[in-house]
Structure 1
Amino acid sequence: MRRLRPAHFVLLAVACCALPALAQQADQLYTATHEQLEVTKTLLEQQAAWNKGDLAAYVNFYKGAPDTIAVLAAPVHGLQSIYNAYLVNFPNAAAMGSLDESEVNVRELGDNFALATGKYQLTRNKKAGGDAMGTFTDILEKTDRGWRIIYSSTT
């Protein structure tokens, strides 16, 4: 008869704890609210605009208000200023490259607001600036035009 070593008990404990966590993660897909799905859809549409090289369409997912903020190299306020700041670093489709967002998590903050966090990977050739990756945090507001970003920060 084999004896269980202390290390086996640790592995067994980790496995027992991990199974409910894995089951819960799978259920999250089925328990997303309508609003969480709508926010996710908005982020996917914004990503698609970026990947088409359409900076104007990408920025259109921000709310057109003077208090809308994007933290790029520094905080930028207002839709036109946000567009201009992006244009400096991403003047064309090659500079924009291909954007892939992952591990997106949407949390409702009341009836008309949501927090979205995740990771991003920007793929582009060295001449266009090279690859970049990091995290993002967006706060969105439900408006008559759909969900729009009112605060965005990337790191």
Structure 2
Amino acid sequence: MFKKVISVLLLCLAFNVHAVPTDDIANILAEQEAAWNRGDLDAYMQGYWNSDKMRFVSNGKFRYGWAETLAAYKKHYPDKATLGSLTFTIKEIKMLSNYAAIVVGRWSLDRAKDNPNGVFTLLVEKIDDRWVITHDHTSD
């Protein structure tokens, strides 16, 4: 009996079964949504990889770097009125490996003067044991 238990444990370890981390990835967007709606862009940016190699693509332009992206957000959304209320709707999270996923969804802003909306595709990677957005392609 003891040998059977050991054999089963060794098989489990050999196959190194991992739970799919889609909940962890969805939580990144939920935390970003909450931070945006509080007007806290610094907290919003915590979902992104804090690196000069982080990429943001929007309106036909490429932006590289966490700090540059935060500065652009603060420039384009200087107050609560321009921030509005953000809603993310995740359409799909596709795991590419144990360390990478593609997230596809919609975004919308509810503001007094307008209601812009669009779509996004994110590359989310596990870096230093933390899921972060390394590439964001957002469009209207």
* TM-score category, normalised to shorter length: 0.7 to 0.9
CA distance in 1, matches of 2:70, 2:90: 26
Q: Percent identity?
A: 31
Give the letter for the 1:112 counterpart. Y
Conserved? CA contact 1:65–1:78, under 8 Å: yes
Residue 79 (structure 2) aligned to one of 62, 82, 92: 92
CA distance in 2, matches of 1:68, 1:105: 22
Structure 1: unaligned runs, 5 residues or longer: 1-32
Structure 2: unaligned runs, 5 residues or longer: 1-18
Give every structure 1 segment of 4 or more consecutive aligned residues whose post-TM-superposition deviation is greater than 6 Å.
Answer: none
Give the letter for the 1:114 counterpart. A
Give the letter for the 2:107 counterpart. Y
Conserved? CA contact 2:109–2:115, under 8 Å: yes
CA distance in 1, matches of 2:126, 2:91: 18
Over alpha carbons, which structure has the higher Rg?
A: 1
Question: Shift in Å at residue 36 of structure 1?
Answer: 1.0
**Paired position in structure 1 for 2:102:** 115
Higher share of residues assigned helix: 1
CA RMSD after TM alignment: 1.4
**Paired position in structure 2 for 1:154:** 138
**Paired position in structure 1 for 2:5:** none
Give the number of equivalent residue pairs.
Answer: 120
CA distance in 2, matches of 1:61, 1:103: 15
In the superposition, the TM-score normalised over structure 1's length comes to 0.72
In the superposition, the TM-score normalised over structure 2's length comes to 0.80
**Paired position in structure 1 for 2:27:** 41
CA distance in 1, matches of 2:20, 2:45: 24
